[in-house]
Protein backbone atom coordinates (compact mmCIF):
# COMPACT_ATOMS: atom_id res chain seq x y z
CA UNK A 1 0.00 0.00 0.00
CA UNK A 2 2.86 2.37 0.78
CA UNK A 3 4.06 2.01 -2.82
CA UNK A 4 0.75 3.20 -4.19
CA UNK A 5 0.52 6.04 -1.72
CA UNK A 6 4.05 7.17 -2.57
CA UNK A 7 3.34 7.00 -6.31
CA UNK A 8 0.19 9.04 -5.87
CA UNK A 9 2.03 11.58 -3.76
CA UNK A 10 4.86 11.84 -6.33
CA UNK A 11 2.41 12.42 -9.15
CA UNK A 12 0.68 15.30 -7.38
CA UNK A 13 3.80 17.12 -6.21
CA UNK A 14 6.45 18.58 -8.47
CA UNK A 15 9.79 17.05 -7.73
CA UNK A 16 12.82 19.35 -7.48
CA UNK A 17 14.19 17.63 -10.61
CA UNK A 18 11.09 18.47 -12.66
CA UNK A 19 11.20 22.06 -11.43
CA UNK A 20 14.90 22.31 -12.32
CA UNK A 21 14.34 20.88 -15.81
CA UNK A 22 11.44 23.28 -16.40
CA UNK A 23 13.75 26.16 -15.53
CA UNK A 24 16.46 24.84 -17.86
CA UNK A 25 13.95 24.47 -20.71
CA UNK A 26 12.76 28.03 -20.11
CA UNK A 27 16.27 29.43 -20.15
CA UNK A 28 17.59 27.45 -23.13
CA UNK A 29 15.41 28.02 -26.17
CA UNK A 30 14.48 25.18 -28.46
CA UNK A 31 16.82 25.78 -31.36
CA UNK A 32 15.41 23.12 -33.70
CA UNK A 33 13.59 25.56 -35.99
CA UNK A 34 16.47 28.00 -36.41
CA UNK A 35 18.88 25.11 -36.99
CA UNK A 36 16.99 24.26 -40.19
CA UNK A 37 18.48 27.45 -41.63
CA UNK A 38 21.49 28.34 -39.50
CA UNK A 39 24.57 26.34 -38.55
CA UNK A 40 23.97 27.37 -34.96
CA UNK A 41 27.05 25.71 -33.41
CA UNK A 42 29.23 27.58 -35.94
CA UNK A 43 27.46 30.88 -35.36
CA UNK A 44 27.56 30.49 -31.58
CA UNK A 45 31.29 29.77 -31.79
CA UNK A 46 31.73 33.01 -33.76
CA UNK A 47 30.09 34.97 -30.94
CA UNK A 48 31.79 32.98 -28.17
CA UNK A 49 28.44 31.44 -27.13
CA UNK A 50 27.05 34.88 -26.25
CA UNK A 51 23.32 34.44 -26.92
CA UNK A 52 22.62 38.08 -26.13
CA UNK A 53 25.03 39.15 -28.87
CA UNK A 54 23.52 36.51 -31.15
CA UNK A 55 20.07 37.99 -30.57
CA UNK A 56 21.39 41.48 -31.39
CA UNK A 57 22.93 40.16 -34.62
CA UNK A 58 19.65 38.51 -35.57
CA UNK A 59 17.81 41.81 -34.96
CA UNK A 60 20.29 43.65 -37.21
CA UNK A 61 19.94 40.87 -39.79
CA UNK A 62 16.16 41.25 -39.80
CA UNK A 63 16.50 45.03 -40.19
CA UNK A 64 18.95 44.82 -43.13
CA UNK A 65 17.48 41.86 -45.00
CA UNK A 66 14.41 43.50 -46.57
CA UNK A 67 16.43 46.36 -48.08
CA UNK A 68 18.98 44.04 -49.64
CA UNK A 69 16.29 41.72 -50.93
CA UNK A 70 14.39 44.68 -52.41
CA UNK A 71 17.57 45.95 -54.05
CA UNK A 72 18.09 42.55 -55.65
CA UNK A 73 14.53 42.41 -56.96
CA UNK A 74 14.67 45.99 -58.22
CA UNK A 75 17.91 45.36 -60.10
CA UNK A 76 16.67 42.13 -61.67
CA UNK A 77 13.29 43.63 -62.58
CA UNK A 78 15.05 46.60 -64.19
CA UNK A 79 17.43 44.32 -66.08
CA UNK A 80 20.39 45.93 -64.32
CA UNK A 81 22.54 42.83 -63.95
CA UNK A 82 25.64 44.61 -62.54
CA UNK A 83 23.46 45.95 -59.71
CA UNK A 84 21.94 42.48 -59.37
CA UNK A 85 25.44 41.07 -58.94
CA UNK A 86 26.18 43.64 -56.20
CA UNK A 87 22.93 42.98 -54.36
CA UNK A 88 23.31 39.19 -54.58
CA UNK A 89 26.92 39.49 -53.42
CA UNK A 90 25.88 41.60 -50.42
CA UNK A 91 23.18 39.08 -49.51
CA UNK A 92 25.62 36.21 -49.93
CA UNK A 93 28.09 37.87 -47.56
CA UNK A 94 25.47 38.68 -44.96
CA UNK A 95 24.05 35.15 -45.05
CA UNK A 96 27.52 33.59 -44.91
CA UNK A 97 28.47 35.72 -41.91
CA UNK A 98 25.35 34.44 -40.14
CA UNK A 99 26.19 30.78 -40.97
CA UNK A 100 23.10 30.45 -43.17
CA UNK A 101 24.50 27.96 -45.65
CA UNK A 102 21.48 27.25 -47.89
CA UNK A 103 20.67 30.94 -48.28
CA UNK A 104 24.35 31.66 -48.96
CA UNK A 105 24.44 29.01 -51.69
CA UNK A 106 21.28 30.38 -53.32
CA UNK A 107 22.56 33.98 -53.23
CA UNK A 108 25.83 32.78 -54.77
CA UNK A 109 23.89 31.07 -57.57
CA UNK A 110 21.97 34.28 -58.27
CA UNK A 111 25.23 36.26 -58.26
CA UNK A 112 26.84 33.84 -60.71
CA UNK A 113 23.80 33.79 -63.00
CA UNK A 114 23.71 37.60 -63.00
CA UNK A 115 27.43 37.76 -63.86
CA UNK A 116 26.89 35.59 -66.96
CA UNK A 117 23.55 37.16 -67.87
CA UNK A 118 21.42 34.05 -67.37
CA UNK A 119 18.06 35.72 -66.67
CA UNK A 120 16.15 32.43 -66.64
CA UNK A 121 18.43 30.95 -63.95
CA UNK A 122 18.17 34.15 -61.93
CA UNK A 123 14.38 34.11 -61.98
CA UNK A 124 14.15 30.40 -61.12
CA UNK A 125 16.63 30.67 -58.27
CA UNK A 126 15.08 33.90 -57.03
CA UNK A 127 11.72 32.19 -56.49
CA UNK A 128 13.35 29.48 -54.35
CA UNK A 129 15.55 32.08 -52.63
CA UNK A 130 12.56 34.23 -51.66
CA UNK A 131 10.81 31.19 -50.21
CA UNK A 132 13.94 30.23 -48.26
CA UNK A 133 14.38 33.77 -46.95
CA UNK A 134 10.72 34.02 -45.87
CA UNK A 135 11.00 30.78 -43.89
CA UNK A 136 14.40 31.80 -42.51
CA UNK A 137 13.06 35.18 -41.42
CA UNK A 138 10.12 33.52 -39.66
CA UNK A 139 12.54 31.17 -37.87
CA UNK A 140 14.68 34.11 -36.76
CA UNK A 141 11.56 35.91 -35.47
CA UNK A 142 10.55 32.77 -33.53
CA UNK A 143 14.08 32.47 -32.11
CA UNK A 144 14.06 36.11 -31.02
CA UNK A 145 10.66 35.68 -29.37
CA UNK A 146 12.01 32.84 -27.21
CA UNK A 147 15.25 34.57 -26.20
* Domain assignment present for 63: yes
* Domain assignment present for 65: yes
User: For residue range 76-123, what is the model confidence (pLDDT) as tens digits?
Assistant: 999 999 999 999 999 999 999 999 999 999 999 999 999 999 999 999
Give 112's Cβ-side CA count (13 Å radius): 8
Residue 67: which CATH number?
1.20.120.160
* Domain assignment present for 109: yes
Residues 6+ apart with CB under 8 A from 23: none
* Domain assignment present for 46: yes
* Domain assignment present for 10: no
- pLDDT-derived band at 5 (thresholds 50, 70, 90) equals very low
* Domain assignment present for 89: yes
Q: What is the pTM of this model?
A: 0.78
Q: How far apart are CA 66 and CA 137, in angstroms?
A: 10
pLDDT value, residue 107: 98
Q: Which domain holds residue 41?
A: 30-146
The answer to whether residues 75 and 110 touch, using CB atoms and an 8 Å cutoff, is no
- pLDDT-derived band at 31 (thresholds 50, 70, 90) equals confident
User: For residue range 54-85, what is the model confidence (pLDDT) as tens digits?
Assistant: 999 999 999 999 999 999 999 999 999 999 99
CB atoms under 10 Å from CB of 145, counted, come to 8
pLDDT value, residue 23: 47
Task: For 96, list phi and psi in degrees, rounded to 5.
Answer: -65, -40
* Domain assignment present for 132: yes
Angle (deg, nearest 10), helices 119-146 and 51-78? 150
* Domain assignment present for 69: yes
Domain count of the fold of the chain: 1
Amino acid sequence: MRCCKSTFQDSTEKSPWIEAMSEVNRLIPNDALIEKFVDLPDLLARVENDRELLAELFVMFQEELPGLQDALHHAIDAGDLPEGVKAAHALKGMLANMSMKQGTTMAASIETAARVGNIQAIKETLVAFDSEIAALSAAVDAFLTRT
